[in-house]
Chain A
Amino acid sequence: MSLFGASVLLLLGFIYHSTAGFMERQTDETINAEIRGLTEQYAQLGLTGLVRAIETRVARDKNGGALYLLTDWKFSPVAGNLKEWPEFSSTQDGWVDLVLQEADGEVVSSRFKYFSLPGNYHLLVGRNVAERNTVEDLIMDALVWGLVITVAMGGLGALLMTRGMLGRLDVINRASREIMQGDLTQRIPAKGAGDEFDQLTANLNAMLDRIVGLMDGVRQVSDNIAHDLRGPLNRIRGRLELSLRGHEDTNGLRPVLERTIADIDEVLAAFHAILTISQAEAGSRREEFSDLDLAVLARDVAELYEPLAEEKDIRLNVDLTPGLTVPGNRHLLSQALANLLDNAIKYTPEGGEVGVTLTRGDSGPELAVYDTGPGVPVEHRAAVLKRFFRMESSRNTPGSGLGLSLVAAVAKLHAAGLTLEDRSPGLRVLLSFHA
């Protein structure tokens, strides 16, 4: 802004200098030239020559722009078109700007130069500068107005531009924040102006594409591994199972084979979970949604887990508001809830409490599972929803680390929010639907 102001001032200064300044310099040069001429006349032809020259020039000057006055040593006029020698304080360079009275009584703004001639005569040569001053004033006015308008327009333009830029930056910022918080499939909208902001948008979107591509790649790899290894594992399992059947266990191999089969089953279960998560994440199963009574669904799952809780001397509280429905996939939602209850019971110490609640929230039904276990520290809450993540403290508890990521994928499939809350002591996992 200040740079803009300075350059405008510089430009206007230059215009003034090369117009008004030029006129001033020309006036001064004319006067100097006349003085040179008159001094020559005086030197060659003496006083009479000078007087004649002055009179000729006055007569020739029809515009009345030229001013001359020659006086004697008492400052009494000898020749020229001025009434009298003006009163002024002497200046160093001999230049004076003053209002003078002409011989015919007219008053004029003038610029003149004065000096003394040999023989104690005084000569004054000047120019009427009234017209020049008017022009200069006009130029000055024009320049000042130009400055005012330029600054005003510039300021307004800058304001509009800044607002436009900030607005577009704001759009980009807001969109990227939303994308980071959730849906990586969204993109920042471009304005289509092809400017730097659109380029920035395009670059950010390209970055998102790349991130999604890399994530898909990682997912694809684990999906492929899960998919491709099922075949051979299945055959290994079949072979082991057949070799267990109906043979005498002469070498005591039976327990080894049984343990191996159990381990293979664990791997296969993890693979199955990975593929289920992928399917839920892909969202292709949304077409098969039907209206689900959440209270019925939650009650059934709670019933499935009730004996398990009882066996561990855990109180299972079930508090379900009836009549709340959401469109959804019964198997996946049941499995998600089962995983939550499974975890809750697994991590709650004996004599503790686990609960399932269904309430009517502001935006839709809210299904929650809480426990009185150790909870999940804030720094791990996002990570526990990811595939295979297991907290250090739960390394020794059986499980694949896929349970909560399935819950997250199912929540996403149903456009439900998933939050982990501290219940001190314990954890509360909340699924909030938008119905």
Chain B
Amino acid sequence: MRILIVEDDLEAAAYLAKGLRESGYAVDHVADGKEALYRIAAETHDAMVVDRMLPGVDGLTIVKTMRAAGNKTPVLILSALGDVDDRVKGLRAGGDDYLTKPYAFSELQARLEALLRRGGGEAAETVLRVADLELDLVSRTASRSGRPIDLKPKEFLLLEYLMRHAGHVVTRTMLLENVWDYSFDPQTNVIDVHISRLRHKIDRDFDKPLLHTIRGAGYTIRDPR
């Protein structure tokens, strides 16, 4: 997997590159917008991390330009502006996800992985499965080992999001953004309580837990095998 980082803050870029390399990615880095456009035209990457504020050509213009040229590489936009509505602008310009600086590396990594998998083709599945846990997206029902699980609408969405990213870490912020559509962090960690409720429903009566908490990062649902 090859990632292009477009970021003018050299130290931040160095940490990001180091972290991604340690996680097994190949990383390219450019520090200005024009050079980024050349690299994007000349090479293929599996995903890109693009800072919004860049010398020369800014991040949103880069994304717009490459999308206009038919380039569908997933892009995660980074921004120092903590504005909710900038997020909307970023996504509208063709970005696939938007992350505000400062960010936790684990947050960026989780989002990048979600983007990379999405690029792998999201078939129109009607049933999601993780081990013996089943989620029927048409009838909106869940069951484990054939035993039905009673879920509230938000719990269904929460489980759906976790199962779509099965085997990967999902952060609290990702859940807030995608399940609740909120781009703020509540003062108290309400997500933890929702997760523990959900865990109670899907794992309580079974030996092998499926829903796990990843310390300092978020949650994951995975097949124990």
Interface membership of chain A positions 324-359, coded 1 if the CB is closer than 8 angstroms to chain B and 0 otherwise? 000001011011001100100110000000000000
Q: Quick one: closest A residue to B186, CB to CB? A: A338
- Contact pick for B102, options A230, A346, A403, CB 8 Å: A230
Q: Quick one: closest A residue to B16, CB to CB? A: A238
Chain B nearest CB: distance from A347 CB in Å?
12
Chain B nearest CB: distance from A139 CB in Å?
86
Which chain B residues numbered 157 to 185 have a C-beta less than 8 Å away from chain A?
Answer: 180, 182-185
Are the CB atoms of B15 and A235 closer together than 8 Å? yes
Q: Quick one: closest A residue to B217, CB to CB? A: A241
Residues on A with C-beta less than 8 A from B19 are 238, 241-242, 245
Q: Please measure, in the bound complex, the distance between the C-alpha atom of A329 and the C-alpha atom of B182, giving whole angstroms.
A: 12
- Contact pick for A246, options B22, B103, B187, B215, CB 8 Å: B22
Indicate if B194 sits at the interface (CB-CB under 8 A).
yes
Q: A308-B193, A345-B188, A346-B188 are in contact. List 18 more A-B contacts (CB 8 A).
A: A230-B80, A230-B101, A242-B19, A244-B216, A245-B22, A245-B105, A246-B22, A279-B83, A285-B85, A288-B85, A303-B154, A304-B180, A305-B190, A308-B190, A311-B193, A329-B84, A335-B184, A338-B186
Residues on B with C-beta less than 8 A from A285 are 85
Are the CB atoms of B12 and A242 closer together than 8 Å? no
Are the CB atoms of B12 and A234 closer together than 8 Å? yes
Which chain A residues numbered 235 to 291 have a C-beta less than 8 Å away from chain B?
Answer: 235, 237-239, 241-242, 244-246, 258, 261, 265, 268-269, 272, 275-276, 279, 285, 288
Q: Quick one: closest B residue to A343, CB to CB? A: B187
Indicate if B213 sits at the interface (CB-CB under 8 A).
no
Which chain B residues numbered 55 to 71 have a C-beta less than 8 Å away from chain A?
Answer: none
Indicate if B11 sits at the interface (CB-CB under 8 A).
yes
Indicate if A233 sits at the interface (CB-CB under 8 A).
yes
Indicate if A399 sits at the interface (CB-CB under 8 A).
yes
Which chain B residues numbered 96 to 127 have a C-beta less than 8 Å away from chain A?
Answer: 100-106
Indicate if A65 sits at the interface (CB-CB under 8 A).
no
Which chain A residues numbered 197 to 247 have a C-beta less than 8 Å away from chain B?
Answer: 230-231, 233-235, 237-239, 241-242, 244-246
Binding site for A on B (CB under 8 A): 9, 11-12, 15-16, 18-19, 22, 80, 82-85, 100-106, 154, 180, 182-188, 190, 193-194, 197, 215-216
Chain A nearest CB: distance from B24 CB in Å?
11
Residues on A with C-beta less than 8 A from B193 are 307-308, 311
Residues on A with C-beta less than 8 A from B102 are 230-231, 233-234, 237, 268
Indicate if A300 sits at the interface (CB-CB under 8 A).
yes
Are the CB atoms of A334 and B216 closer together than 8 Å? no
Known interface pairs A303-B154, A331-B184, A342-B188; A235-B12 also in contact (CB < 8 Å): yes
Most buried by B among A230, A258, A400: A230
Residues on B with C-beta less than 8 A from A403 are 187
